[in-house]
Amino acid sequence: MKVAVKKLNEKAHLPTYGSAYSAGADLYACTDGELVVPAGETVFVHTGIAVELPYGTVGLIYARSGLACKKDLAPANKVGVIDCDYRGEIMVAIHNHGKEAKSIMDGERVAQLVVAPYYVAEFEETEELSSTVRGEGGFGSTGRV
């Protein structure tokens, strides 16, 4: 699948895959030098790119495990959603879960983008739902004895 990418900044990097079987493509920070993320706070990291996702797909922005585990930095909203009609700059809201300020440098990989298909549901109200063994059990109910 081809995805059109527009550089909004000449320093921007196009997304890249780390290996032949990577599901997520790395997104790169496009900053003026060092970007400090204070402890317990969230900052928006520019990527300097915009994308044109094919109709029927969505861009999902996930944490990079290395950044999250080694630097305590991960997307603030857990999973970002880029709708296929959005044409603005991709920015990643990065939250510092640590106890001290951390830095992101220009060109550093800050998140990963997964392009996935989706369904558009037609929601209709009903008086009853079909029954299942699970029923209304939620929040860890399937593992109970």
Look at residue 136 and tell me if it is in a domain.
no
pLDDT of residue 137: 72
Contact in structure between 32 and 48 (CB atoms under 8 Å):
no
pLDDT of residue 145: 54
Q: Is residue 143 very low, low, confident or very high in pLDDT (cuts 50, 70, 90)?
A: low
pTM over 0.85: yes
Residues near 110 by beta carbon (within 8 Å), at least 6 away in sequence = 27, 28, 29, 45, 47, 64, 67, 73, 92, 94, 104
Alpha-carbon gap, residue 78 to 117, rounded angstroms: 19
Look at residue 51 and tell me if it is in a domain.
yes
Look at residue 135 and tell me if it is in a domain.
no
Give the domain CATH number at 88.
2.70.40.10
Domain that holds residue 23: 4-119
Q: Which tens digit of pLDDT belongs to each residue from 84-112?
A: 999 999 999 999 999 999 999 999 999 99
Torsions phi, psi of 140, nearest 5?
Answer: 90, 10
Total domains in the fold of the chain:
1
Look at residue 57 and tell me if it is in a domain.
yes
The answer, yes or no, to whether residue 144 has pLDDT greater than 70, is no
Look at residue 82 and tell me if it is in a domain.
yes
Look at residue 140 and tell me if it is in a domain.
no
Look at residue 73 and tell me if it is in a domain.
yes
